[in-house]
């Protein structure tokens, strides 16, 4: 499933070209900057840029400007794992999540529990996802919003429901409800949504049970993990000429041979090289689009609230924003996930009690 896998970023020729460009444009005044791990720099950002929304690069190799936050609470949603500060996205993404939450409630789903969207300025994350870097990806739990409001503490610790049996890779029938299908169908109905990643067991369940209109199944893509949440990806938005689109999904329901592959041994073989560093762990600024450096350096709004989306017009910093004081990346980075400072490029991403997409075998 090449299309779902992040591209290798380390092609020597591209790296040389990127570095050359930085030298030519005079951006390489601090050579060491290019060597710093991008995830440390982007993981330390607390606020977005107070500039026009724009995505740079690809879902798994990029950053974005002009992000806005979804409020912690809305009438039809709650943000989970708030300490991670990953409730940021392109305004079109945030508006769409809010719309989905309203539509889902009208469809009979009690409300959305929102997982990770993106860091304030996107970029690679310290833990978890390979993608979610350009503000156009969002994880939404397959657990409905409880009737009583969750406290901030509960949102940090409440576990999600695993929908899939880990041995058979099939959906647990006792847990799957027609409302799950309706939620995924609603999300797939939006023209902005290009892909929805789900566990292969969930895709199979839909393939086996959806009657009538099956056109939307084209957007539902099987992938490792994604067994307690689904991942909604929208396309590059207007105003982002340097956003790299993903190739279109094949024009069928995807229920045939490609799905059958997931129910063979091959996708589940043990990782032959489990200690190999992940792309996100070793990416430097030189690997990201050159605009991402400007994204890191751009001024931010006065506060998170000033860039929080409450519907209507997209918020921007009202007052002339103060330039951000650069902070040492490592310290800020360790706070949000409770990780020690010992995380480095060659350690596996630690499990921190938060469900994240599981590691996948290489070579797929």
Stretch that binds Zn ion, among 137-145, 204-212, 321-329, 339-347 (CB under 5 A): 137-145
Stretch that binds Zn ion, among 161-169, 227-235, 242-250, 275-283 (CB under 5 A): 227-235
- What is the token pair recorded at 242? 């340097």
Q: What is the DSSP string of 246-304?
A: PPPPPSS-S-SHHHHHTTSSGGGSPPS-TTSPPHHHH-BGGGS-THHHHHHHS---S-T
The least distance separating Zn ion from the CB of residue 256, rounded to whole angstroms, comes to 25
* Three-state secondary-structure class, residue 157: helix
Closest residue by Cα to residue 36 from 302, 267, 296: 296
Query: Which residue lies nearer to Zn ion by CB, 133 or 336?
Result: 133
What does the alpha-carbon distance between residue 16 and residue 19 come to, in Å, rounded to a whole number?
Answer: 5
Q: Does 221 bind Zn ion (CB under 5 A)?
A: no
Query: Which residue lies nearer to Zn ion by CB, 28 or 131?
Result: 131
Instruction: Kindly state the helix (H) or strand (E) to which residue 186 belongs, with its residue range.
Output: helix 178-189
What is the total count of residues that contact Zn ion (CB under 5 A)? 2
Q: Does 139 bind Zn ion (CB under 5 A)?
A: yes
Query: Which residue lies nearer to Zn ion by CB, 121 or 231?
Result: 231
Query: Which residue lies nearer to Zn ion by CB, 37 or 231?
Result: 231
Give the Cα-Cα-Cα angle 359, 159, 340 (nearest 5 degrees).
Answer: 60
Q: Specify which residues 140 forms β-bridges with.
A: 114, 230
Q: Nearest to Zn ion by Cβ — which residue?
A: 231
If you count them, how many residues does the chain have? 364
Q: Does 231 bind Zn ion (CB under 5 A)?
A: yes
* Contact in structure between 111 and 83 (CB atoms under 8 Å): no
Query: Which residue lies nearer to Zn ion by CB, 34 or 55?
Result: 55
Within positions 71 to 130, which residues make up the interface with Zn ion, using CB under 5 A? Answer: none
Stretch that binds Zn ion, among 136-144, 202-210, 273-281, 296-304 (CB under 5 A): 136-144
Query: Which residue lies nearer to Zn ion by CB, 50 or 94?
Result: 94
Stretch that binds Zn ion, among 69-77, 134-142, 217-225, 346-354 (CB under 5 A): 134-142
What does the alpha-carbon distance between residue 163 and residue 161 come to, in Å, rounded to a whole number?
Answer: 6
Query: Which residue lies nearer to Zn ion by CB, 139 or 281?
Result: 139
Query: Which residue lies nearer to Zn ion by CB, 203 or 231?
Result: 231
Closest residue by Cα to residue 124 from 68, 64, 72, 83: 64
Stretch that binds Zn ion, among 13-21, 187-195, 207-215, 230-238 (CB under 5 A): 230-238
The least distance separating Zn ion from the CB of residue 4, rounded to whole angstroms, comes to 11
Q: Specify which residues 197 forms β-bridges with.
A: 221, 231
* Contact in structure between 150 and 158 (CB atoms under 8 Å): yes
Stretch that binds Zn ion, among 6-14, 135-143, 235-243, 298-306 (CB under 5 A): 135-143
CB atoms within 10 A of CB 162: 15
The least distance separating Zn ion from the CB of residue 320, rounded to whole angstroms, comes to 35
The least distance separating Zn ion from the CB of residue 129, rounded to whole angstroms, comes to 5
Q: Does 227 bind Zn ion (CB under 5 A)?
A: no
Residues that bind Zn ion (CB under 5 A): 139, 231
């Amino acid at each position: 499933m090449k299309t779902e896998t992040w591209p290798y970023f380390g092609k020597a020729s591209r790296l040389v070209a990127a570095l050359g460009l930085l030298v030519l444009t005079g951006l390489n005044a601090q050579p060491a900057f290019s060597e710093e791990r991008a995830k440390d720099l982007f993981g330390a950002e607390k606020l977005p840029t107070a500039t026009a929304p724009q995505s740079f690069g690809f879902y798994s190799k990029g950053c974005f400007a002009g992000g806005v936050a979804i409020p912690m609470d809305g009438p039809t949603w709650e943000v989970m794992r708030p300490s991670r500060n990953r409730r940021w996205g392109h305004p079109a993404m945030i508006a769409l999540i809010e719309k989905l939450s309203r539509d889902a409630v009208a469809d009979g789903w009690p409300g959305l529990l929102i997982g990770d969207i993106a860091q304030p300025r996107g970029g690679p994350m310290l833990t978890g996802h390979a993608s979610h870097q350009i503000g156009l990806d969002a994880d939404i739990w397959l657990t409905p919003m409880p009737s009583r409001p969750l406290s901030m503490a509960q949102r940090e610790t409440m576990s999600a429901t695993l929908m899939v049996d880990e041995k058979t890779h099939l959906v647990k029938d006792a847990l799957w409800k027609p409302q799950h299908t309706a939620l995924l169908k609603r999300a797939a109905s939006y023209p902005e949504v290009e892909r929805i990643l789900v566990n292969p067991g969930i895709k199979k369940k839909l393939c086996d049970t959806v009657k009538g209109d099956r056109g939307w199944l084209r957007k539902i893509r099987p992938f490792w993990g994604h067994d307690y949440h689904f991942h909604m990806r929208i396309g590059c938005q207007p105003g982002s000429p340097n956003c790299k689109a993903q190739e279109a999904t094949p024009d069928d329901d995807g229920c045939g041979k490609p799905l059958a592959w997931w129910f063979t041994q091959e996708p589940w073989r043990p990782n032959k090289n489990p200690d190999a560093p992940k792309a996100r762990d070793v990416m430097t600024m030189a690997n990201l689009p050159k605009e991402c450096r400007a994204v890191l350096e751009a001024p931010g709004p006065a506060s998170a609230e000033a860039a929080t989306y409450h519907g209507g017009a997209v918020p921007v910093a009202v007052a002339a924003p103060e330039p951000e004081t650069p902070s040492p990346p490592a310290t800020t980075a360790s706070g949000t996930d409770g990780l020690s400072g010992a995380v480095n490029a060659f350690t596996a991403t630690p499990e921190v009690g938060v469900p994240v997409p599981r590691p996948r075998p290489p070579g797929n």
